[in-house]
Structure 1
Amino acid sequence: MTKLSVNINKIATLRNSRGGNTPNVLKAAIDVQNFGADGVTVHPRPDQRHIKYKDVYEIRPIIKTEFNIEGYPSPQFMELVKAVHPHQVTLVPDPPDALTSNSGWDTINHLSFLQDIIGELKECGIRTSIFMDPDPDLIINAAKTNTDRIELYTEPYATMYPQDPEKAIAPFIEAANIANKAGLRINAGHDLNLQNLKFFNERIPFLKEVSIGHALISDALYYGLELTINKYKELLIRE
């Protein structure tokens, strides 16, 4: 069964819109684990517009599943993850003003940079994953960074899925096979939802984990958080 890590950034976005501590991000992290999620994901950004660095420190002690921290490896971010020591760090190439992650790493031009960053994280015993487009050449080069995993950036799949599921999934199947052959484990995330997740999970070989936030938290407004997590988990069972 593919693991589900719930990104709770949107909980923090809602809290920050009014100030105070409602909804409570720490309680959300506890609840998603109690409701069956296999992990908690956060993505602190430099402007702290959703998850704040303070949240990350407070969340870490209550994690009983897995803690995944996403972000661009700035000096501030690296200081944070080394201090917090999550189970996994997912490196994304976002500029500071990015609204959301919208592309993967260029592992050819940024090879040396990624090797250095990943080397630092491995010295701390932290599993690494790097955000990747389903580009065969870039994925082959990703193995040279010494990362443990890649996270396939799935927005292009989600966008095309309603019109042509087979065409949408094809480059991701190829990417997963190439990654596996190169010795990389495979995660995925971005715009996966109740409509497209089952098809993706059934077709992508070697998929270890999906990280889902925006769609899942949005669905929880209608179904409630516990039922929503159960709905997503059901779609991740391979028959």
Structure 2
Amino acid sequence: MRRQSNDRLERRAFLAAVVLVLPLAGAQATLADTPLEVPILRSPKQPLARKSVRSWTSLQRENVVMQAQDYSCGAATLATIFQYYFQDDISEAKILKEILGKMEADEVKDRQENGLSMNDLFLCCKALGYLAAVIRLPADKIPGLKAPVIVRLVREEFKHFVVLKGSVDDRVFLADPLRGNVRMSAEKFMTHWSGEALLVGKRGFGLPQSHPLQIHTDPPVQNELDAARRYLVQPRPQ
């Protein structure tokens, strides 16, 4: 009973810390992939000088785990949180194994056809030793989020999990396992957001002021028009 009481207190403190806080500060994320090289200076007596640059695609997908399966957007969002917020080396494949490995064959088939549920992600977090809570997140709390959360976007039968980093002015910023880093109008986001959010925490981790999933408003992020077009033409519900 004491352990359960401590868990409840820790969970309440975790929820309050994530939701009832000041807005995120902007920061540049760490550059991680293999860079390209382009010439920047030629000297008659020296080898060609080169400068490393990044491709647009690699920058757009920076600090986002891209989903490997049609149905695995939920697992990819969890992997994004684990790897780029908590700095834990937990892959999408490991998350899928944890979730699907405990299911009967008919349940696995259902997830492969229809995608994972919010409860699947919640239970996976608990099984891996993380704090987790599914809440109805008030829209006016989004600008003050202190940590990234997982949300689900819905359009007709198409359901898709993304990481919500927070918002600046009238734009929300997402880490999307299908499209990479995305900026979307708050109005558009509210139209498709289910209203639920999965909060993930880690005992003893705290709320770091600097992490790779912080909002930064500089490119590259897909703008809202491009993101909306891609969202509307996805071929398969999830």
TM-score by length of 1: 0.26
When normalised by structure 2's length, the TM-score is: 0.26
Higher strand share: 2
- Of structures 1 and 2, the one scoring higher in RCO (CA 8 A, sep 6+) is 2
